Structure 1
Amino acid sequence: MKFDTAYSLSLDDKVSIYDVRDLNFDETTDFDSDKDSFLCPSDACRAAFDATNVLSTFNAKNVNYLRTPHFKNKPGTRHIDGCRYASSQKTANGESDDEREENFPSEFVLTRRQYERKTPTVGTEGGLPQEPPKAPSNQATTSHSNSDSTPDKTSVFAHPVECYVSNIDDKDKLKAMPLKIGEHTATYWAFFKKIEYLQDNKGLIYWGRIKAIKDYTSSFRIDFEKKVWLDKKPYSVNVYLSKKLIENYRKRTAFLEQIKAAASSERPLYCFFYGVTPALKQVPSKKNPEQTFGVFSANIENLDHLIIREAPGVE
């Protein structure tokens, strides 16, 4: 069975698989999911076993992924009778459940979640604990979720994007699931807006197929394939990623790996972003600087709120 929430022994809290991915790539945080232990998110189930009764992760460290990230049971993982996380590996229709994100957060929080690490007991040799790890106490976690189920909120942009992309063939579900960002509440279907319709409303999650990524060595420009029509004229759309933005990004290494690979890729890639709305600007022509032409453009302000990925089936 796959699920996107587990208890992290090192963080002493329940985290989503998207939190784990975020921490793995964060260069300001000393975290490695391969060195952590993830236990059943059910408080009752977790309290019944010691800390060696662990889960495994899937796509926790891949910069790019096609199949939905998740935690899953190992062959030897045990659960108490009645634990919701003890079910089989297959869905009711017999298909693998790795392909679809079923855990829809109802709110995308714009302030990044902060984590308080547990202080391990350090031994005299090799920095290892002096005693084997003990099972965590059956305490309610207050920093993120007090329940065993997936948290209703997320601060990792990849989570709502994955919900949208992996469920794109179920428009009724996307039209039924609510999402709140800041003061704005709508459905997932309404919040995700194709780039060519960006004039319909501001403050949404805009997305579109990438036409090209211009690599200026220390900065980048992402050009979209679709154009925006205004006054019966088509205008190109792009977003710009500045040198300063990239240099100060906490996940700089992973981001550069991803965008440089995307720039040279021949596979269909899509860009999703939140926080800015491209506006019509007049820019000078390279051939004739005295002349200008119109383009819808925006400077990205937060790389945590931008994703480049494959998104099969969205068009």
Structure 2
Amino acid sequence: MKFDTAYSLSLDDKLSIYEVRELNFDETVDFDSDQDSFLCPNDACRAAFDTGNALSTFNAKNVNYLRTPHFKNKTTTRHIDGCRYASTHKTATGESDDDREENFPSEWVLTRRQYPRKPALTGVDASVPQDPAKVPSNRTTTSHGTNDSSPDKTSVFAHPVECFVSNIDDKDKLKRMPLKIGEHTATYWTFFKKIEYLQDNKGLIYWGKIKEIKDYTSSFRIDFEKKVWLNKKPYSVNVYLSKKLIENYRKRKAFLEQIKAAVDSERALYCFFYGVTPELKQVPSKKNPEQTFGVFSANIENLDHLIIREAPGVQ
């Protein structure tokens, strides 16, 4: 059985698998999921066993992934009777339980969550908790409540994107599931807008198939395959990623690894972004700088709010 949330022993808190991925790639924090222990998110179940009763992670450290990241039981993981994380059955439709994200956050929080570590224990080996049977402290977080259910909120863009992509064949579900971003609430289907329809509304998550990624060594431009029609004329669409933006990014190494691989990739890749809306601009022609041509373009302002990935089925 796969699930989205687990208790992190090193952070003394419940984390989603997407938050674990964020921490693994964040160069400003000291975190390695391989060195942590993840336990059952059910407080009562976790309290019944010692800290060796751990879970494993799937796609927690892969920069690019095709199957949904998750926590899962090891063959040795035990649960109390009645714990909903004890099930090992496959989905009712017979699909692999790696194929779909079922934990839809109802809110995407634009402010990044902080992860304070629990205080070091004086005179005690910090890797051994004083009382492993206790439930986690009632620390207030922006993402999780005190029960074992999946989080209603997330600050990681990859989570709602995975919900959309992995459920793209179930449009009725996407049209039912609510999502709040900032002060606006709509459905997943409404918030995710194809790039060619970006004029319909601002403040949405725009996405589209990538035509080409221009590598300018220290900056990049992502060109989309689809064009925007305005006054019966087609215009190209692109987004620009500046040198300063990339150099100051806390996940710089992982991002450069991903985008450089994408530049040379022959696979169909898609870009999802939020926070800016490409607008029609006049840019000088390379062949004749005195002439200009129109293009819908935007400068990305936050790399946490941009994703490049494969997305089967989202044509």
**2:94 is the counterpart of 1:97:** no
Shift of 1:145: 1.9
Give the Cα separation in 1 of the matches to 2:258 and 2:277: 23
Give the Cα separation in 1 of the matches to 2:36 and 2:171: 37
Q: Tell me the equivalent position of 1:304.
A: 304
Give the Cα separation in 1 of the matches to 2:20 and 2:37: 12
Give the Cα separation in 2 of the matches to 1:42 and 1:292: 61
Q: Say if 2:48 and 2:133, in contact at 8 Å, map to a contact too.
A: no
Q: Tell me the equivalent position of 2:134.
A: 137
**2:70 is the counterpart of 1:73:** no
Give the Cα separation in 1 of the matches to 2:245 and 2:168: 31
- Three-state SS of the structure 2 residue aligned to 1:62 is coil
Match of 1:164, as an amino acid? F
| CA deviation map 1:112-168 (0-9, x unaligned) | 0001112344879xxx64857742522445313222101100000000000000000
Shift of 1:275: 0.2
| CA deviation map 1:76-129 (0-9, x unaligned) | 1000000000011411233211100000000000000001112344879xxx64
Aligned pair count reads 312
**2:284 is the counterpart of 1:284:** yes
Q: For the structure 1 residues 256 and 73, does the alpha-carbon distance in structure 2 shift closer, same or farther, using more than 3 Å as the test?
A: same
Q: What TM-score results when the alignment is normalised by the length of structure 2?
A: 0.96
Q: Say if 1:39 and 1:46, in contact at 8 Å, map to a contact too.
A: yes
Q: Say if 1:10 and 1:37, in contact at 8 Å, map to a contact too.
A: yes
Q: For the structure 1 residues 141 and 121, does the alpha-carbon distance in structure 2 shift closer, same or farther, using more than 3 Å as the test?
A: closer
Q: Aligned Cα RMSD in Å?
A: 1.5
Give the Cα separation in 2 of the matches to 1:66 and 1:131: 35
Give the Cα separation in 2 of the matches to 1:52 and 1:199: 53
Q: Tell me the equivalent position of 2:51.
A: 51
Q: Which consecutive unaligned segments of at least 5 residues does structure 1 have?
A: none
Give the Cα separation in 2 of the matches to 1:245 and 1:256: 12
Match of 1:142, as an amino acid? T
Point out the more displaced range, 137-146 or 280-289.
137-146
Q: Tell me the equivalent position of 1:222.
A: 222
% identical equivalent positions: 83
| CA deviation map 1:18-60 (0-9, x unaligned) | 0000000000000000000000000010111111100000000
- Three-state SS of the structure 2 residue aligned to 1:86 is coil
Give the Cα separation in 2 of the matches to 1:65 and 1:122: 40
- Three-state SS of the structure 1 residue aligned to 2:103 is coil
Q: Say if 1:50 and 1:134, in contact at 8 Å, map to a contact too.
A: no
Give the Cα separation in 1 of the matches to 2:48 and 2:131: 12
Match of 2:45, as an amino acid? C
Q: Tell me the equivalent position of 1:180.
A: 180
Match of 1:202, as an amino acid? K
Q: Say if 2:49 and 2:133, in contact at 8 Å, map to a contact too.
A: no
User: Equivalent residues in 2 for 1:135-174 (5 A)?
Assistant: 135-139=132-136, 140-143=138-141, 144-174=144-174
Match of 1:160, as an amino acid? P
Q: Tell me the equivalent position of 1:252.
A: 252
- Three-state SS of the structure 2 residue aligned to 1:256 is helix
Q: Tell me the equivalent position of 2:192.
A: 192
Q: For the structure 1 residues 81 and 230, does the alpha-carbon distance in structure 2 shift closer, same or farther, using more than 3 Å as the test?
A: same
Give the Cα separation in 1 of the matches to 2:128 and 2:88: 34
Match of 1:25, as an amino acid? F
Give the Cα separation in 2 of the matches to 1:42 and 1:294: 55
Q: Which consecutive unaligned segments of at least 5 residues does structure 2 have?
A: none
Match of 1:163, as an amino acid? C
Q: Say if 1:6 and 1:40, in contact at 8 Å, map to a contact too.
A: yes
Q: Say if 1:105 and 1:179, in contact at 8 Å, map to a contact too.
A: yes
- Three-state SS of the structure 2 residue aligned to 1:145 is coil
Shift of 1:287: 0.5
Give the Cα separation in 2 of the matches to 1:272 and 1:166: 14
Give the Cα separation in 2 of the matches to 1:298 and 1:131: 50
